[in-house]
Structure 1
Amino acid sequence: MSNSTKVKDFKGQSRVLKVCHWCGKKQDPKQKSFQACGRCKEVIYCSKERQVASWPLHKAPCKASADVKKKIEEGGNPNLTNTIATFKKWHSMHNDALRHAAVCALNLGYKPKAVNENFLFIEITQKPDHQDLPIKRKYAPTGGFTMTLEEVESIFRDANGLAILESFKESNEHMQKKGGVGIVGVLLEAHGVMDLVKIILPTPSATKLNQMADNWGEFWLPRLQAAVEAD
Structure 2
Amino acid sequence: MAPAAANYYSAPPPSHTHHKQRGYRICDTCGAIENPSLQKFRLCGGCMTTQYCSPECQKSHWPSHKAICQHTAAQMSGAKQQPIGPAYPDENLAKYLRKFTSTHSSLLGWAGFQALQLKRLPANIRQNALLIELSYNAHADSLYRFSVANTHVVPRTYVTSHDALVAADISRREERCRRSGGIGTLIILVQCGGISQVMPVEVDPPSKISWDSRDDWAEVLRHFVESGRTDFKPISTTARGVVYG
Q: Does the TM-score normalized on the shorter chain lie above 0.5?
A: yes
- Corresponding residue number in structure 2 for 1:20: 27
User: Which residue is equivalent to 1:221?
Assistant: 218
Note the residue ranges of structure 1 that are not aligned, 5 or more in a row.
Answer: 1-10
Higher RCO (CA < 8 A, seq sep 6+): 2
**Is contact 2:80-2:92 (8 Å) kept?**
no
1:121–1:147: 8 Å Cα contact kept in structure 2?
Answer: yes
Change (3 A) 1:176 1:18: closer
How has the CA–CA distance of structure 1 residues 175 and 71 changed in structure 2, closer, same or farther, with 3 Å as cutoff? same
Deviation of residue 173 (structure 1)?
Answer: 1.9
For residue 149 of structure 2, the aligned residue among 121, 142, 158 is 142
Spell out the pairing of 1:86-101 with structure 2 (5 A cutoff).
86-101=96-111
Which residue type is aligned with residue 131 of structure 2?
Answer: F
**Which residue number corresponds to residue 187 of structure 1?**
189
Are 1:19 and 1:27, in contact at CA under 8 Å, matched by a contact in 2?
Answer: no
SS of structure 1 residue aligned to 2:131? strand
Deviation at 1:47, TM superposition (A): 2.4
TM-score with structure 2 length normalisation?
A: 0.69
Runs of 4+ in 1 over 4 A off after TM superposition: 16-19, 27-31, 52-57, 73-77
TM-score (norm 1): 0.73
Separation in 1, partners of 2:147, 2:160? 26
Q: CA deviation at 1:58?
A: 3.9
Aligned sequence identity (%): 23
Matches within 5 A, 1:37-186: 37-52=44-59, 54-55=61-62, 58-74=65-81, 80-127=90-137, 130-131=139-140, 133=141, 135-154=142-161, 156=162, 161-186=163-188
* Distance in structure 1 (CA, Å) of the matches to 2:220 and 2:171: 28
Q: How many angstroms does 1:168 deviate by?
A: 0.5
SS of residue matched to 1:147: strand
Query: How far apart in 1 are the matches of 2:72 and 2:203?
Result: 23
3-state secondary structure, aligned to 2:113: helix
Aligned length: 204
Q: Could you tell me whether the CA contact under 8 Å between 1:122 and 1:188 is conserved in 2?
A: yes
CA distance in 2, matches of 1:147, 1:176: 23
Find the aligned partners of 1:72 and 1:60 in 2 and give their Cα distance. Answer: 19
The Cα RMSD (Å) is 3.2
> Shift of the alpha carbon at 1:18?
7.0
